Chains A and B, each alone.
Chain A
Amino acid sequence: DAGVTQSPTHLIKTRGQHVTLRCSPISGHKSVSWYQQVLGQGPQFIFQYYEKEERGRGNFPDRFSARQFPNYSSELNVNALLLGDSALYLCASSLDRGSTDTQYFGPGTRLTVL
């Protein structure tokens, strides 16, 4: 069975641009979460979507938005990119949205903002 997939693998953008990152969850998983991981730090929670609705949001500005599609795949959008947005963006899927549900992470998208 395929795990969580993310695209693209790497991305280079300049300040002020916008970016769209994509995630396909494990088949049967209805919950998708997004995390930002800066080098040397643990992942930081951005969003959780479950059954196509936003169920949780971390401490990130409104430049960050996301959505989940009927097939449970998800997009993360970041507008007006800043240098500080350079990070590894991780998507995780889980069967449900409970606090003890195991989250399965994708390989991430490495975003570099110049």
Chain B
Amino acid sequence: DQQVKQNSPSLSVQEGRISILNCDYTNSMFDYFLWYKKYPAEGPTFLISISSIKDKNEDGRFTVFLNKSAKHLSLHIVPSQPGDSAVYFCAAISSGTYKYIFGTGTRLKVLA
């Protein structure tokens, strides 16, 4: 039972345009969400996070939106750059469990 899903395995976007990566979850106990970025042959690196008490968090070109009623979050990257090409994982936590539940990842390719 995959509690966190990223239904798009891949996405291609033109440089300068907006990239939108989506993530859906099923467990209403999740109250904190994170996005990680992963390059080939490297471990995931933290990108941005959001608490369930917020609906938006912004950090430079990266914005995460959370829609609790829909159990959906999205990561917006604008403008997209070729260096953003990587696999993006969303992760969810319910407080006190100490563990992340990761999605399966979306491979983003930004075309120059």
Question: Is chain B found bound to chain A in the same assembly?
Answer: no
Chain A interfacial positions (CB closer than 8 Å to B):
none
